[in-house]
Chain A
Amino acid sequence: MRYFIKKSITLIMTLFLVSAAAFLAFQIIPGDVVTSILGTEATPEREEQLREELGFNDPPAVRYFNWIADILRGDLGVSYRYSKNMNEMMPVSELIGDKLPVTLWLAALSLVLITAVSVPLGVLWARSKSHFLDALLGVTTQAAMAVPAFFLGILVTYIFGIVLKFFAPGGYVSYKEDFRGFLGYLMFPALSVAIPKIAMTARFLRNSLLTEMNADYVRTAYGKGCTGRRVVYGHVLRNAMIPVITFLGMIVAEIVAGSIVIEQVFGLPGIGRLLISSVSTRDLPVVEILILYITFVVIFVYFLIDILYRAIDPRISEK
């Protein structure tokens, strides 16, 4: 319990630090949302009016603490740039609520692909006695891990989109209009996300399995006359999966944080792309919430992993 409280305080402190850093960064980088909105047509009157409307005439510290106070009240604010209708701006909660499912579905689909391929592959690899297969998988997975996400996106676009014509690159369909079409399109970015992670997870699982197989209890099981298959699926895999699951947890955090690049390549309107465009248009309320969200997900997942480890191995919590 004490541990839990301590971790929660750390989490809140980190979030506070991140939001303050983002706010500070926006004060330093050149150009604010007013220049961004008015562009080359700026007149002093319009600038003044806009600054007044957006509450920019308050000192930065006041604005920051007002913003915090709003957040604590559950009000995430409104976007500076995106209109809801003619006279109102889009509430950040609505904007993100609309974009978040895209990123989460991408992460979910990638995770499904990763587990569906890497677990059988890892088991096969660990059990295989063929040196050729071992070397082949060793090199292929190394190579797969060496491909940067954006290049993999380009390759997938070229191979599946242009040459094989399995999908129309850029032809994203909204999940609200056609869910199957949405998933069908999402398959390809998910594939680009999954390939290097599949390689990583398969390698990790294989090593974990091999370590387990050398453990004493496995030798005992074999000694008792159990068949290879039963040993692997009954005992070893279950134990070897525990570190793999935590590894997959980290991958989820990585996918959410790394969605920026792949969403850019495939034109997915998820939170990663929203973040990039909001940074360039200086849409601070949107950027703040997105950064807080991403940071929260990442820290929270690590936190869960930590708890999981403690549950498995009580020795850790004694330290």
Chain B
Amino acid sequence: MKTLSPAKKWNKYFTAGLVMTGAAVFLGLLGLFWTPYSTTAMSAAERFAAPSWRHLFGTDNFGRDIFSRVMQGMGTTIVISTLVVLFSGAAGILLGALTGYFGGVLDEAVMRVTDAVNGFPSILLALVFISILGNGRQNLILSLGIVFVPSYVRIVRGEYLRLRDADYIKRARLMGVGRFRILFVHILPNILPVFGVSVMIGLNNAILAESGMSYLGIGVQAPDASLGNMLSDAQGYLQAAPWYALAPGMVIVWIVLGFSLFSEGIRRRVE
């Protein structure tokens, strides 16, 4: 009989994911401070240079080094996505804990809004928020953060709903432990494994969403590089310079894949 995951296998997922994610985070964070070439310096003589040792990923329509821009873009994407997850995760815990534990009118109201937001195309929702708030990095983080909150609220709320009548919580209540303490000291640590998994998935979604938004021209503004806006610019030169589109596109795949393997590895390890 076959088993779900042969014990020796989790290591490979974990290792591969760790290497890929590690490389992406290292190159990306480095790219925020140092790149082989300036990310904005233009050169008329080197427009659309194909990949070579001099320019690993070639150059773009302004003769800028694509490798350097990809590095900077990776860093930007990783930082923004992390902040989005931090924001929406924190808001999700707070709202989910309150609604799940106390229920009532607040719960009903929050759940209706959550339903509405879930039914709504998330890109469009983020677009609307950006239209109201204005363009820019902070507003992109805020908009995506808001869009992702409901998914966390649902998970956290479900867990609190499950745990609020658990024996040890009942006992704590009887012993007169404060509500705040029950919520965040007694219950919270117990939902962390479940929450952790959703954060992992959330981070991947945030990376995809950030690159999707900057692909639509929202968020990081040119001439600063982001993977999405590079891809969108590159689309116009698909025939003349296919490497221009491939580089940022493959890097997005790399980050997301590395991260999924990494979380899969962790999941298998825990099991």
Contact = CB atoms under 8 A, between A and B. Distances in A.
Interface of A: 10, 13-14, 17-18, 21-22, 25, 28-30, 129, 131, 135, 142-143, 145-151, 154-155, 157-158, 162, 207, 210, 213-214, 257-258, 260-261, 275-276, 279, 291, 294-296, 298-299
B242 interface: yes
Contacts of B238: 154, 157-158, 162
B242 A158 contact: yes
B253 A147 contact: yes
A21 B132 CA distance: 13
Contact of A260 (B4, B123, B249, B264): B123
A146 B249 contact: no
Nearest to A301: B119
Nearest to B250: A151
B120 A18 contact: yes
B116 A18 contact: yes
A129 B2 CA distance: 8
Given A14-B115, A294-B119, A279 B245 contact: no
B124 interface: yes
B1 interface: yes
Contacts of A162: 238-239
- Cβ-closest 3 pairs across A and B: A146-B256, A295-B119, A146-B257
Main DSSP-derived SS at the B contact region: helix
A210 B3 CA distance: 8
A79 B55 CA distance: 50
Contacts of B260: 142, 145-146
A291 B235 contact: no
A29 B131 contact: yes
26 contacts: A10-B112, A13-B112, A14-B116, A14-B119, A17-B113, A18-B116, A22-B128, A25-B128, A29-B131, A135-B9, A142-B260, A146-B252, A146-B256, A147-B252, A148-B211, A150-B212, A151-B249, A151-B252, A151-B253, A154-B231, A154-B238, A162-B239, A210-B4, A257-B121, A261-B212, A298-B119
B239 A17 contact: no
B11 interface: no
